[in-house]
Amino acid sequence: MEAYLFLNFKILLAPKNHAIHRNNVKDCSSLENLKLQSDTMEEVEDTDAQALSFLASEGFLPLILAGHKGMPEAYSNLFHSSRQFFDLPEDSFHKTTFQAASGSAASEEGYSDLPGEKSILTVKSISRCPELLKQQVETAWNMTGALLLDITRQIASTLGLQLNVFDPFVEPCSVLPREKRTPTLLRMFRYIRPQEGEATINAERHKDIGLLSLVIGHSPGLEVLDTATGLWKAIESEEFVPEGAKIRSGGLTATLLVGETMSLLTRGRYKAGVHRVLCAPDREHAYRFSIVYTLRPAVAPLYTKDFESEIVGHFAPEEEMDGQSSKELFERIRSSHWNVNVVKDLREEQQKRLRAKAIATGTHDLDGYVERYAPPPGPPPGRDCSDIISTG
């Protein structure tokens, strides 16, 4: 029996067609026990803390875009323009002018094509954005930046931290810059669906390396890993989207993912979400289009003591940072990952190098990153055991 949160955040709570009732449960760590008391979305009265508790323990959180004013329209317009861009010939002015660098930096900015898999356009500033997309990218970016700034403040609240502790690393990225690039980026994808037969994996299992990512989907493909069962969940499919929610959201889905930087700064209290893209044949859609806003920390002095609390605990001496640049931390995280958005040969080379390191050190997992912290004891931050909703 599945269950997902839904509320002030306009989040998915219970899958459709579930009978709803409330029970007290002793085991607060099992999200399979969560259910709603009300039959309709409008009657839901829950707390953001409970929604964030789900995000903390699972690393992902499905959102309903319609709950955030203007965002369905903004992303619908951007999808329309990105389709126009991807449909252009490969030798067109827009594609050649904004061609991405080669090698491992190919996914960091500009247009790149991974034959047989996907095409990607990454934007970090207005000046390096194709003209036909500028207005749409800026609108979507600024709306999403404001939303994720608010979410990071709510995350800080669940951890007993100062509400603005993330602000120096988030606020400078919340508005799309005109010239100067920020580490944060917005990526538009066009994944190739197989014409027939079995589904293909267009992006292998991985974790994002930033603070948070918001994935906007036009058709199903994103899958998240249920850490309790080890099974993949097609989070954009009808099984997990309440009836009518996708229609009100302009046919779009939204999924919030925790990244590795957030996981490190919270000492694992917020777990990075494992995900992949699996594209199945679809008669109506030859491609899967998606847009990902990836919030990465702006460059600023970082003091790990600012992120310590009774909930978070204390950083070990070797983990402490006392005014060093956040870029140093981010690059350390990046170096322990392989890049899912570069050509296959380069991905495999990076994976091979990380596997060799795993054998030598025993510190890397299947997702190509260092497991720094064991899961914290007790329920995730923000969860009140006395008010858990149960399936019985």
* Inter-residue contact 215 to 144 (CB < 8 Å): no
Q: Give pLDDT tens digits for 231-254.
A: 999 999 888 777 677 888 889 999
Q: Give pLDDT tens digits for 269-317.
A: 999 999 999 999 888 888 999 999 999 999 999 999 999 999 999 999 9
Mean of pLDDT values over 12-22: 30
Mean of pLDDT values over 165-193: 95
Q: What DSSP state is assigned to residue 11? A: B
Residues shown for the chain: 392
Q: Out of 87-91, 194-198, 334-338, which region has the weakest mean confidence (pLDDT)? A: 334-338
For the chain, give every domain's residue range.
49-337
Facing residues of 251 across strands? none
- DSSP calls for 208-265: -SSSEEEEEESSS-EEEEETTTTEEE-TTSTTTS-TTHHHHTTT-EEEEEE-HHHHHH
* The pLDDT value given to residue 365: 54
* The pLDDT value given to residue 47: 57
Rounded to 10 degrees, the C-alpha dihedral 4/214/83/118 comes to -90
- DSSP calls for 117-135: TEEEEEESSGGGS-GGGHH
Residue 173 region by backbone torsions, left for phi larger than 0, else alpha for psi between -120 and 50, else beta: alpha
Residue 327: other Cβ atoms inside 10 A: 16
pLDDT band at 382 (very low <50, low <70, confident <90, very high): very low
Facing residues of 192 across strands? 287
CA distances from 220 to 231, 257, 278, 353 (A): 17, 16, 8, 32
The rounded mean pLDDT for the chain is 79
User: What CATH number should be reported for the domain whose range is 49-337?
Assistant: 2.60.120.330
Whether 158 has a pLDDT exceeding 50, the answer reads: yes
Taking alpha carbons only, the member of 121, 127, 119, 253 closest to residue 190 is 119
* The pLDDT value given to residue 290: 96
Q: Out of 1-5, 129-133, 177-181, 199-203, which region has the weakest mean confidence (pLDDT)? A: 1-5
Q: How far apart are the first and last CA of the chain?
A: 11
Token output for 66: 């319609």
Sign of the dihedral through C-alpha 178, 180, 185, 188: positive
